[in-house]
Amino acid sequence: MRVPFIAGNWKMFKNRAEAREFAEEFKKLYKDTDVQTAICAPFTDLETLVEAFAGTDIKVGAQNVHFADEGAYTGEVSVAMLEDIGVDFCIVGHSERRQYFAETDETVNLKLKKLLTGAIRPIMCVGESLDERDAGSAFDRVKSQLQLGLADIDAKDTARIVIAYEPIWAIGTGRTATPEQAEEMCAFIRNTLIELYDEDTADEMIIQYGGSVKPANATDIMNMDEIDGALVGGASLKAKDFMEIIDF
Ligand code: PGA
């Protein structure tokens, strides 16, 4: 059985004081549920959140990482540095990084491989643009992101990878994919994973939907068979909204 996994993606929001304030409020609201929860925060907030959530089930994630062990890579952070802080998850290949920071399927692949040498679980983002959806190539695009991103990754490691399907046209736009559209693509992702690996491997993997998830639509999305969780941007910045989503 796959454990539902709902993660927040704070993007470039919140300083340490704001992160601490969120954590205190969220811990008060937090009820034990069957859902695994994490907040993926800016690097500067990670230590604060790991400390604040110590002794709870609430996990902490980063939003990016470099694939080299260490070196002259100004502005970058390594897997070992994240492990040192005690981070549990790391987003890889978010569409904003693909769009603004030259992330490619090849760098996604290198980052996944590096993360899989340690204990941090990658959240690998895939998703098509509006042009690709309108042109009827959404499925091809997502398939190629999976093929290239997961290249040379062993079936034994894949259960640790979370796939987040985030159609670019639904991110931060208020325009959510319908639960049926999200389900259709998540089922397609599961089938692609069967092709790339096998049924047992694909069955174990968590597939999230992301893109304008909020308290009002979380239940419909989470009730879909092939959707195991959500990656939540804007609505994860408010403890009350995020808790309502987890408590779908
Ligand atoms: P959104 O962002 O929920 O604000 O649309 C989702 C994401 O980018 O992960």
Q: Would you say residue 31 lies in a domain?
A: yes
Q: Would you say residue 248 lies in a domain?
A: no
Q: Would you say residue 62 lies in a domain?
A: yes
Q: Would you say residue 247 lies in a domain?
A: no
Decide if 166 is catalytic: yes
pLDDT bin (cut points 50, 70, 90) of residue 107 is very high
Q: Would you say residue 99 lies in a domain?
A: yes
Burial of 55 by CB count in 10 Å (0-12 exposed, 13-18 middle, 19+ buried)?
exposed
What are 112-128's pLDDT values in tens digits?
A: 999 999 999 999 999 99
Question: For residue 33, is pLDDT > 90?
Answer: no
Instruction: Quote the domain boundaries for residue 135.
Output: 5-240
Cα–ligand 1 centroid distance for 71 (angstroms) = 32
pLDDT bin (cut points 50, 70, 90) of residue 96 is very high
Reported in sequence order, the residue ranges of 10-56 that DSSP labels E, i.e. its strands, are: 36-40
CATH number of residue 14's parent domain:
3.20.20.70
pLDDT bin (cut points 50, 70, 90) of residue 176 is confident
Q: Would you say residue 46 lies in a domain?
A: yes
Cα–ligand 1 centroid distance for 9 (angstroms) = 7
Q: Would you say residue 245 lies in a domain?
A: no
Average pLDDT over residues 201-226: 96
Q: Would you say residue 246 lies in a domain?
A: no
Atom 6 of ligand 1, residue of closest alpha carbon: 233
- Domain tally, the chain: 1
What is the pLDDT, as a whole number, of residue 214? 96
Question: For residue 175, is pLDDT > 90?
Answer: no
